[in-house]
Amino acid sequence: MRTAVDKPLPGVFISLEGCDGSGKSTQISRISSRLDSAGLNPLVTREPGGTPFGERVRQLLLDPGSPDRSILSETFLYAAARAEFVSKIVRPALAQGRIVITERYVDSTWVYQGYAGGVSVSNIESINTIATGGLETDLTIILDISDSTVINERLALKQKDKIESRSGKYHQKVREGYRVLAKRFPHRVICIDAGLDVSAVESLIWKEVVNILSKKGYDLTNEKHGRESL
Ligand code: TMP
């Protein structure tokens, strides 16, 4: 257990990833409530977005009426929003010792523009590194759903954006890409079966979050007192 003279706890950077309709927003809101209850005041954000510039780029990328573009142009637009996101939102929050939880980060580009879109892995990784200055997450959780009918049912309920409107084949590649990604970055990426019920998925994610936080020196054995010693 830490005492008041211990140095402050470090920032922790966590991302949730997964195909459209995999339940990321629901889970982020549940996990951030648990962190709030533990007194940890997480910063919850998303990509593309998080900054006024990023939100404008988001509209350009996702608005169904937005002009068509090449996959490479799209890659650079995500990267432009990300450069802003990392320098204005993520790095300052981590420097203050906050827990940052983002819905999507570099791995979305790896999967959507790289694996499914056809931009080479080496180009994607170089562009991501330039945009982020090499900032990696401490933990990335992929919400994996193998049954495409579940996703299709969920997406049928909403108006599809520019990316969601792409072919079933593209989205199949996205799901496959996330599994390939998990094998490429095993030191930080964990796949969770998002086909389970929402509370079961939440418990699995929470276990991983507690695990990374304890590695960083946080004590969540009593959730109410996690940051007591700061
Ligand atoms: P969402 O916030 O509703 O998930 O929408 C974001 C969309 O943008 C989603 O379809 C995934 C896509 N995306 C990419 O294609 N590449 C990226 O780098 C990111 C961050 C998102």
**Interval 30-57: pLDDT, tens:** 999 999 999 999 999 999 999 999 999 9
Residue 5's pLDDT is 53
Write the pLDDT tens digit of every residue in 64-121. 999 999 999 999 999 999 999 999 999 999 999 999 999 999 999 999 999 999 999 9
Cβ 109 under 6 angstroms from ligand 1: yes
Cβ 15 under 6 angstroms from ligand 1: no
Q: Quick check: 43 and 101 in contact, CB under 8 A?
A: yes
Strand order in the sheet with 99-103: 43-46, 99-103, 12-18, 139-144, 189-193
* Cα–ligand 1 centroid distance for 33 (angstroms): 23
Residue 196's pLDDT is 94
Residue ranges per structural domain of the chain: 12-215
Rg over CA atoms, the chain: 18
- Which of 71-85, 115-129, 139-153, 203-217 bottoms out in mean pLDDT, i.e. has the lowest? 139-153
CA angle 196, 34, 106 (to 5 degrees): 70
Atom of ligand 1 nearest to the CA of 106: 18
Residue 229's pLDDT is 38
- What percent of the chain has a predicted confidence (pLDDT) above 90? 83
* Cα–ligand 1 centroid distance for 17 (angstroms): 10
Residue 159's pLDDT is 86
Cβ burial of 115 (10 Å; 0-12, 13-18, 19+) is buried
pLDDT band at residue 202 using 50, 70 and 90 as cut-offs: very high
Question: Helices 121-132 and 71-85: crossing angle, nearest 10°?
Answer: 30
Q: Please, which residues have CB within 8 angstroms of residue 189's CB and are 6 or more apart in sequence?
A: 107, 140, 141, 142, 181, 182
Q: What share of the chain is helix, strand, coil (3-state, %, to 5)?
A: 50, 10, 35
* Cα–ligand 1 centroid distance for 226 (angstroms): 32
Q: What is the mean pLDDT of the chain?
A: 92
Q: Quick check: 192 and 141 in contact, CB under 8 A?
A: yes
**Ligand 1 pocket mutation, candidates 73, 163, 164, 166, criterion most atoms within 8 A of CB:** 163
Residue 150's pLDDT is 74
Report cis status (omega within 30 of 0) of the bond before 64: no
Q: Quick check: 80 and 73 in contact, CB under 8 A?
A: no
Q: Quick check: 51 and 88 in contact, CB under 8 A?
A: yes
pLDDT band at residue 223 using 50, 70 and 90 as cut-offs: low
Q: Which CATH number fits domain 12-215: 3.30.450.20, 3.40.50.300, 1.20.1070.10, 3.20.20.70?
A: 3.40.50.300
Residue 149's pLDDT is 78
Q: Quick check: 43 and 89 in contact, CB under 8 A?
A: yes
**Ligand 1 pocket mutation, candidates 45, 59, 62, criterion most atoms within 8 A of CB:** 62
